[in-house]
Structure 1
Amino acid sequence: MTLFLFIITVVCMQRLVELVIAKRNEKWMRERGAYEVGAGHYPLIVSLHIGFFISLAAEVILLERSISEWWPLWVSLFLLTQAGRVWSLASLGRFWNTKIIILPGANVVKRGPYQWMRHPNYTIVAAEFLILPLLFQAYYTAIIFSVLNMMVLSIRIKIEEKALVEATDYNKVFKMD
């Protein structure tokens, strides 16, 4: 239980730091003429992430889940996702945000993991929604929140890509024609 509490605390603190960074980045972008799109679904994103941590904690604590015998694999994959998260966020720099903030005329970032895929951070979050629960055998949380995350991302990615195509060089950079 101590390991679980340590890991969930570290991950929750990481998310709070990311929210501070996102707010700072949003302010910087808005000062340069950026605007938000898809604000209507943002509460779903927030609820999904808060619900994930509540569900994970509830399943592990109430159902007395223990660490998986496969824990070396899950910890290794989790550390890999964290490195990918930092790489994705650092590659976007001031353009990274938890909201969809669009800066008209900006050149789309195509460095770091964005050289190979359009949404690496969404892929990382999807992996985390599986890895963290599997580390502690919280199978219900892994299944339910992976499905919910796919549903929310199917909305979010369409909105984000449409806005980027309309306001930036996204179509040209990622050859969406």
Structure 2
Amino acid sequence: MYYSLFILAIGLERLVELAVSRRNAEWSLARGGREFGRGHYPVMTTMHGLLLVSCVVEVWALHRPFIPWLGWPMLAVVAASTVVRWWCAAVLGKHWNPRVIVIPGAPLVRRGPYRWMHHPNYTAVVAEVAALPLMHSAWVTAVVFSAANALVLDTRIRIENTALGYA
């Protein structure tokens, strides 16, 4: 029951992200931003929505138990990944968007977590996709969606690296 409510809260948080994303996309496009790789975005958002559904369904249908020695550390991973993701969003400001929109001439951000790596948000997402189902021992969901996420991120990072001039 508490896990389902937690997943619901994560889903509501994702809706907030989509609202911020929409506003930031409009801002970026109004400043001459160009979108790259638009075709993978629906796949990515669908996968993340299905992850949340699968977390609840696997726990309910297969009677997955809460295992404290696994669940509590995974909750900490989810919390830390959420902090990192919002830190990335805060550092990028109006440039943050789950769509790949680049404003010509805009400088690359090299502060916050971007001091250390090109894609800290994706590192946090990888951790979260694995940890969220494992909070309640939904290991099938963790394995399946981690693999799906790896495929989506492989495409996503190649598109973003090209758009930002890394590749």
Name the TM-score class by shorter chain. over 0.9
Query: In the alignment, is the contact (CA less than 8 A) between 1:68 and 1:134 conserved in 2?
Result: no
**Alpha-carbon offset, residue 134 of structure 1:** 0.8
In structure 2, what is the Cα distance between the partners aligned to 1:50 and 1:9? 11
- Residue 56 of structure 1 pairs with residue 59 of structure 2: no
State the SS of the aligned residue for 1:137: coil
Instruction: Give the aligned partner of residue 123 of structure 2.
Output: 123
Query: Aligned-residue CA RMSD in angstroms?
Result: 1.1
Instruction: Give the aligned partner of residue 109 of structure 2.
Output: 109
In structure 2, what is the Cα distance between the partners aligned to 1:66 and 1:38? 40
Task: Give the ranges of 4+ consecutive aligned residues of structure 1 lying more than 4 Å apart after TM superposition.
Answer: none
State the SS of the aligned residue for 1:36: strand
Instruction: Give the aligned partner of residue 36 of structure 2.
Output: 37
State the SS of the aligned residue for 2:68: coil
Instruction: Give the aligned partner of residue 168 of structure 1.
Output: none
State the SS of the aligned residue for 1:33: coil
**Alpha-carbon offset, residue 72 of structure 1:** 2.4
Instruction: Give the aligned partner of residue 89 of structure 1.
Output: 89
**Alpha-carbon offset, residue 56 of structure 1:** 1.1
Cα deviations by residue, 1:115-147 (Å, 9 ceiling, x for unpaired): 001111111111011111111000000000001
**Alpha-carbon offset, residue 88 of structure 1:** 1.0
Instruction: Give the aligned partner of residue 12 of structure 1.
Output: 11
**Alpha-carbon offset, residue 63 of structure 1:** 0.9
In structure 2, what is the Cα distance between the partners aligned to 1:79 and 1:47? 22
1:145 partner amino acid: F
Instruction: Give the aligned partner of residue 137 of structure 2.
Output: 137
Unaligned runs of 5+ in 1: 166-170
In structure 1, what is the Cα distance between the partners aligned to 2:51 and 2:63? 17
**Alpha-carbon offset, residue 69 of structure 1:** 2.1
2:106 partner amino acid: A
Unaligned runs of 5+ in 2: none
**Alpha-carbon offset, residue 79 of structure 1:** 1.5
In structure 1, what is the Cα distance between the partners aligned to 2:15 and 2:139? 25
1:45 partner amino acid: M
State the SS of the aligned residue for 2:107: coil
In structure 2, what is the Cα distance between the partners aligned to 1:68 and 1:104? 49
TM-score by length of 1: 0.90
In structure 1, what is the Cα distance between the partners aligned to 2:83 and 2:42? 27
